[in-house]
Structure 1
Amino acid sequence: MAFSLDIPPYIFEQYNKGIEIDIIAAALSHKGHTLRPLYFPLGRIPIAFQNNLVDAAMSDVGTDLMSYGGFYAEPAVVYDNVFITLKKRNLVINSPADLDNLTIISFQGAEKRYPQWLSKPFEEKRFYGISDQLTQVKLLNLERYDVVLSDRYIFKYFAKQLKYEDNIQVSRVDEHQFAEIEPQDYRPVFKSEKIRDDFNFGLKKLKESGKFQAIYDHYIE
């Protein structure tokens, strides 16, 4: 299955662990399947699926994979993406126009996920997609970019990492909620309809047993 490079606390590539990996592996194991993660830059995940390099993908990253034989499953996790700015900037982001003249850094493929907000910055080369989300936090803190688009838990994780490992204090930030969470954006995709169904069954059992929440609690706490 194609996964992104490191997205702690959801994906720890070095250990084949994390919230998302653990949940998907546990769901698949209910019907006897074993997960083998393969890691790609976020923007290459749908390409790996299209070129049959993998049997499944953690999500379609904004590319419809049904025409490439994809069977969409129920979402294992949902990312709560927000715009993040330095508090001292006093920026207000309530509409796409509020991003005019601002530079934005985010995950690869974000411009496809949120075209209403990011098409214009992307066309004007004010948007930069990068998989390394620790770098996103650093660049915002250094004021090289005005806005980070990130899952709020991912940003907090890396801000803490900078503080405790690199002794860098990240400036206080504001979070700007700009879109309703859409779970359908984060559905895993499988080449096999049967394995998709097996995954959905296992995911349902995980939630009923309490193990789903236990995996979240293990990493968040």
Structure 2
Amino acid sequence: MRSLLFVVSLLCVIAPLKAKELDVVVGWNKPPYVITREHAGFEVDLVRAILADMGHTLSPIYVPFGRTARLLKDEAVDIALTLNSAHHVDKAILSAPYIIYQNVAVTRADRKILIQSIEDLKSKSVIAFQTAQSVLGEEFGQMMASQPTYLEMARQDRQVDMLMRGSVDVAILDRNIFNYFKSENSAYAADKTVFHELFSFSAYSAAIPNAELRAAFNLTLEQFIADGRYQSLLDKYQLENLLYKLHDNTNVGDSKH
């Protein structure tokens, strides 16, 4: 009965919309979320599948992240991915959240490094993603400014390599990006790691100016989550499902992987 009601609701929403190829702004290569050379990745595959259910096709436009808002303002695209209200986008045009990112401090379990706060990073050798010192908060930025062993790196696969080979004590990056690159190297398969949750999570939506298209997208996303297709796609890319964090404000602390 629930499925029937969903189909009826969806048909009511999308009835006025004609099938078309939609221009979708996607950020540069960011595995496993976006894999540019394959026109794939979790976000690309998810939105492509949602639009297909709605009768549309996806035409990806890969741009530096800073250009996304301008393209929206110029009404040059139909959809823009990986946005939230912090990006100075009108909340009214944002879809329901479809993905959660969370930066974590990662250590090797066999090192038994205790990290319960940013203060605990002091005197540790730390490698992080580019701009981390600017975007992870004032306390983190100030702490790393005085750390002679702190390094930022654009290639996040190299971050993972340096941690797993023992070249640094701590790597800081998105937990799903870490899992993806760790799983890509069989040499790390038996090595356990610990995620220290020092930073809050970020929920991301799609910016969809057309109200009818946005409503249909939200309904279809809800159905993807309900019928298991969302989880299956997460499993394909070995991503953790973090959507529960939208409704769970408890502090889960360290977690092992």
TM value normalised by structure 1: 0.73
C-alpha separation between the residues in 2 aligned to 1:82 and 1:100?
16
Greater RCO structure (CA 8 Å; 6+ sep): 1
Name which of 90, 94, 113 aligns with 2:112.
90
Residues 121-140 of structure 1: matches in 2 within 5 Å? 121=143, 123-124=145-146, 126-130=150-154, 132-140=155-163
Higher Cα radius of gyration: 2
Residues 38-187 of structure 1: matches in 2 within 5 Å? 38-40=61-63, 44-45=64-65, 47-52=66-71, 55=77, 56-60=79-83, 63-66=86-89, 71-111=93-133, 113-115=135-137, 118-121=140-143, 123-124=145-146, 126-130=150-154, 132-163=155-186, 172-179=192-199, 181-182=201-202, 184=203, 186-187=204-205
C-alpha separation between the residues in 1 aligned to 2:167 and 2:85?
27
Distance 1:112 1:206, change over 3 A: farther
Contact 1:2 1:48 (8 Å CA) reproduced: no
* Aligned-residue identity in percent: 24
The reply on whether 1:218 has 2:225 as its aligned counterpart is no
C-alpha separation between the residues in 1 aligned to 2:62 and 2:115?
33
Deviations 1:95-149 (A, max 9, x none): 121122334333445455531553224544735152x321111122344443212
C-alpha separation between the residues in 1 aligned to 2:146 and 2:209?
37
Contact 2:105 2:197 (8 Å CA) reproduced: yes
One-letter code aligned to 1:86: R
TM value normalised by structure 2: 0.65
SS at match of 1:85: strand
C-alpha separation between the residues in 2 aligned to 1:141 and 1:62?
35
Q: Residue 30 of structure 2 aligns with which residue?
A: 6
RMSD: 3.4
C-alpha separation between the residues in 1 aligned to 2:182 and 2:201?
23
The unaligned stretches of length 5 or more in structure 2 are 1-24, 240-257
Number of equivalenced pairs: 209
